[in-house]
Structure 1
Amino acid sequence: MTISSKLKFSYLKRTLDFRFDAGTSRGVLKTRDVYWIKCWSEFNPSVIGWGEAAPLVGLSPDFLEDFEQKLQEQLVAAENQSWPTTEDELLLLIKELVPMDLPSIRFGLETAVLDLLNGGQKRILPNNFFDQGLSIPINGLIWMGDRDFMLRQIDQKLEEGFNCIKMKIGAIDFDQELELIRYIRERVSPEKMVLRVDANGAFSVEEALCKLERLSAYALHSIEQPIKAGQWKQMRALCQSTPLPIALDEELIGVNDKAELLDEIRPQHIILKPTLVGGILETREWIHLAEERGIGWWMTSALESNIGLNAICQLASSLKPSIPQGLGTGKLYHNNIDSPLQVHSGQIHYHATIPWETPA
């Protein structure tokens, strides 16, 4: 469809309740606020595009006390724009309209307007996930917690048929974490199970290499962000000497000169969270630069509701990923919005026969 030159916008806030205490090296999450952006044309108000702005505590540049005020200001500015009717022009306009330090708002606005452009059917981009129902392999996520809690999660993921598991580490005793990794490896060989770990910057610079060497005994695919972001010189040294591949995650947030970071650190992989790095255009640019340098990549959600997760799945699918993605967060909440997104046997699917719940 085409959209009129002027659009209307509003937003709804929902506080999502976790099914469990979601532990990370930065603390425990019990709830999560998301903001659903509604977009429509006055000439056809029954067709609605939906996006999601979901700033993440401790990580997002736009996790601010006055976030709602900034969101409202951006939506007012968006109503004063004359909107083009092609994807490329829309994305460029939103990049100019929303500053880089409001990445979740930029991604939410991109999603809402593209959804409207495509008829308000939750189709964001041309992609095989939505258009042809092709599933995306994903990793099963093991959250931090005490040993027994993590063990139960591991057993559940193995029973559910995942052949890629990502385990968050850095919150409990490191020897206990190694025991849990060993537990997985005793049951599933490296040939049948891809195993990733995510330290969320929990290691000190002094201890990092020693811990990487101990982890490397278990044939891991990669470790995400072993040390805190912002230490480029130390991270480069780690990437040069590491016995297992390193993936940058938090390191990408708020970076303007992407090529400089990649050339300085030379990681083995990067991980893209569109909500945190500034949306569709920024994600595509990261991937283009990484592929030019022979750096691997995959995409993950950042605890969005199913509206945001759907957009990230479609973006990932449009880029034809070659390895499992991190898109299995839809079941985290008691009160997520009902959607066609379903996870079976280690893959996420879009079941078009299942209706979307209307945001409210």
Structure 2
Amino acid sequence: MINPIQLEFSYIKRTLDFRFDAGTSRGVLKTRDVYWIKAFDPKNPEITGWGEAAPLVQLSPDYREDFEEVLAKTLRKMTGERWESNADAVLFQLKSLISFDLPSIRFGLETAILDWLNGGRKRILVNEFYDFQQPIPINGLIWMGDREFMLQQIDQKFAEGFECIKMKIGAIDFKQEIELLTYIRSRFSADQITLRVDANGAFSPEEALNKLQLLAELDIHSIEQPIPAGRWKEMQKLCRETSLPIALDEELIGVREKEVLLDNLQPQHIILKPTLVGGILETQEWIRLAEARGMGWWMTSALESNLGLNAISQLASTFKPKIPQGLGTGKLYHNNLESPLEIHSGYIHYNSSKAWETPA
């Protein structure tokens, strides 16, 4: 190893407050804990790398009561390691050092170390989003709630110029959800507005096929995770018989044998949340395997702060995405970290003229 680097690590916890009650089929979120990982060399204090570990409640393999203790222990261990000044080498080293069962910690460390290697400028990878301010198309997210709240969000997304809308379903009466989607289609054709829906596993296997047929009649682009994860036999049948393309989301979490899952279930699309599937290296592998099988994919945030969202946006940008990604979560919180990330007319932008707030 040439000129190995030894870094020290610490973290800052912040509880983010949602601007509204964020409804999903698994319940309502009001706050979100994130942990900002700091990478630094005491001999070179002017450079600081930052990453984010943000395990998602009820979903992340490393969402656990002792998470903070595990994080602190892991960072102490990493302080004793030496790193090459090469991004690929760092990613493979972290894969060997950080348990697969700690995906958000691995992602946070990947981001913090790569940021440090790039001079502590919040640049994680070589990418057009950061380097040339090339915007990325994103979907507008419609959160669950009562009919009026969802209708208000829909009208707002139209006014903001989104051409792809993703609506979370499964919390209110299905008939009302169909009515809301019908309202969208009455105003905009499939050529004008792309519609995605996300059931978060809310449908039972027995009812799913019929519901997918009703949704397909509205020219829906795809449905995320129609039935609960882990029901491989039922999901395989659904992916084979569906009239509506299926995008696997929660199904990927905690899966080590990626090829086995893709070959058995044969989904039309997969959705990648780096925080949940194990970080940059694991996400890159999922994409390689999906593309080799002709499966579509897109990347989304898992409700991280702007720090994590920036890293995911840069990772997505390395693949030069043409279809909308799920990267529109930066405005969810009252107390998010101020950043150069901006959303205009259905795109996320990196405005290099704006400064980052220092994590505290």
- How many Å separate the matches in 2 of 1:106 and 1:35? 12
Q: Deviations over 1:118-167 (max 9, x none)?
A: 00000000000000000000000000000000000000000000000000
Percent of residue pairs identical: 69
2:309 corresponds to: 309
Equivalent residues in 2 for 1:269-284, closer than 5 Å:
269-284=269-284
2:143 corresponds to: 143
Which SS does the other structure have where 2:339 is aligned? coil
Please report how far the alpha carbon of residue 43 of structure 1 lies from its aligned counterpart in structure 2 after TM superposition.
1.7
Equivalent residues in 2 for 1:306-345, closer than 5 Å:
306-345=306-345
2:187 corresponds to: 187
Please report how far the alpha carbon of residue 3 of structure 1 lies from its aligned counterpart in structure 2 after TM superposition.
8.1
Equivalent residues in 2 for 1:166-177, closer than 5 Å:
166-177=166-177
- How many Å separate the matches in 1 of 2:49 and 2:164? 33
**Partner amino acid for 1:300?**
T
Please report how far the alpha carbon of residue 302 of structure 1 lies from its aligned counterpart in structure 2 after TM superposition.
0.4
1:250 corresponds to: 250
TM-score, normalised via structure 2 length:
0.99
**Partner amino acid for 1:21?**
D
Unaligned ranges ≥5, structure 2 = none
1:25 corresponds to: 25
Equivalent residues in 2 for 1:153-302, closer than 5 Å:
153-302=153-302
Q: Deviations over 1:266-325 (max 9, x none)?
A: 000000000000000000000000000000000000000000000000000001212100
**Partner amino acid for 2:210?**
C
1:44 corresponds to: 44
**Partner amino acid for 1:281?**
L
Which SS does the other structure have where 1:50 is aligned? strand
- How many Å separate the matches in 1 of 2:82 and 2:325? 36
- CA RMSD of superposed structures (Å): 0.9
Equivalent residues in 2 for 1:75-114, closer than 5 Å:
75-114=75-114
Which SS does the other structure have where 1:16 is aligned? strand
Contact 1:15 1:34 (8 Å CA) reproduced: yes
- How many Å separate the matches in 2 of 1:161 and 1:5? 46
**Partner amino acid for 2:38?**
K
Contact 2:106 2:279 (8 Å CA) reproduced: yes
Asked if residue 15 in structure 1 is aligned to residue 15 in structure 2, the reply is yes
Contact 2:137 2:322 (8 Å CA) reproduced: no
**Partner amino acid for 1:233?**
K
Q: Deviations over 1:245-265 (max 9, x none)?
A: 000000000000000000000
Which SS does the other structure have where 1:211 is aligned? helix
- The 1:3/1:163 distance shift into structure 2, 3 A limit, reads farther
Please report how far the alpha carbon of residue 97 of structure 1 lies from its aligned counterpart in structure 2 after TM superposition.
1.0
**Partner amino acid for 1:170?**
G
Please report how far the alpha carbon of residue 5 of structure 1 lies from its aligned counterpart in structure 2 after TM superposition.
1.8
Please report how far the alpha carbon of residue 329 of structure 1 lies from its aligned counterpart in structure 2 after TM superposition.
0.1
- How many Å separate the matches in 1 of 2:339 and 2:292? 36
* Number of aligned residue pairs: 359
Instruction: Extract structure 1 runs of 4+ deviating beyond 2 A.
Output: none
- How many Å separate the matches in 2 of 1:187 and 1:73? 54
- How many Å separate the matches in 1 of 2:42 and 2:338? 27
- How many Å separate the matches in 2 of 1:71 and 1:319? 30
Unaligned ranges ≥5, structure 1 = none
